[in-house]
Amino acid sequence: MTAALVTQNLTDPSIAAGVLKSGQLVAFATETVYGLGADATNSKAVAKVFEAKKRPAFDPLIVHVTDATAAQQVASTWPPIAADLAAAFWPGPLTMVLPKRDHISDLVTSGLPGVGIRVPKHPLAQSLLQHFAGPVVAPSANLFGSISPTTAEHVRHGLSGRIAAVLDGGACDVGVESTVVSLMDTRPVILRPGGLAQEDIEQITGPIKIATANSHLDDSAQPAPGMLSRHYAPQTRLLLIDVEADAIPENDGRWGLLTHGTDFHSEQTATNQNGLATPSKNIQFQEIQSLGSTKDLPTCAANFFAGLRSLDAANLDAIIARKFPTHGLGIALNDRLKRAAAR
Residues engaged in binding Mg ion (CB under 5 A): 140
For ligand TXA, which stretch binds (CB under 6 A), given 135-143, 154-162, 199-207, 238-246?
135-143
Residue 125 beta carbon to ligand TXA: minimum distance, rounded to whole angstroms = 8
Among 20, 33, 167, 201, binds ligand TXA (CB under 6 A): 33
Q: Considering the rule CB under 6 A, would residue 129 count as an interface residue with ligand TXA?
A: no
Quick one: CA torsion of 104, 105, 109, 113, rounded to 10 degrees? Answer: 70
DSSP string, 224-293: PTT--SS-S--SSEEEEE-S-GGGSPP--S-EEEEE--TTSSTTTT-EETTEEE-SS-EEE-SEEEE---
Name which of ligand TXA, Mg ion, none residue 109 binds, using a CB cut-off of 5 to 8 Å depending on partner kind. Answer: ligand TXA
For ligand TXA, which stretch binds (CB under 6 A), given 16-24, 27-35, 65-73, 284-292?
27-35
Residue 144 beta carbon to ligand TXA: minimum distance, rounded to whole angstroms = 9
Query: How many Å apart are CA 74 and CA 102, to the nearest integer?
Result: 9
The contact pattern for ligand TXA, residues 145-184, with x = CB under 6 A and - = no contact, is --------------------------------xx-x----
CA distances from 283 to 93, 247, 272, 289, 302 (A): 37, 11, 11, 15, 27
Cα distance between the two ends of the chain: 29
Q: Contacts with ligand TXA in 89-128 (CB under 6 A)?
A: 95, 97, 109, 112, 114-116, 118
Name which of ligand TXA, Mg ion, none residue 150 binds, using a CB cut-off of 5 to 8 Å depending on partner kind. Answer: none
Residues 6+ apart with CB under 8 A from 317: 236, 237, 251, 253, 254, 255
Query: How many Å apart are CA 166 and CA 29, to the nearest integer?
Result: 8
CA-based nearest residue to 283, from 308, 317, 320: 320
Q: Considering the rule CB under 6 A, would residue 138 count as an interface residue with ligand TXA?
A: yes
Query: How many Å apart are CA 17 and CA 39, to the nearest integer?
Result: 9
Name which of ligand TXA, Mg ion, none residue 190 binds, using a CB cut-off of 5 to 8 Å depending on partner kind. Answer: none
For ligand TXA, which stretch binds (CB under 6 A), given 57-65, 155-163, 198-206, 326-334?
57-65
Q: Point out which residues bind ligand TXA (CB under 6 A).
A: 30, 32-33, 35, 59-62, 95, 97, 109, 112, 114-116, 118, 138-140, 177-178, 180, 191-192, 224-227
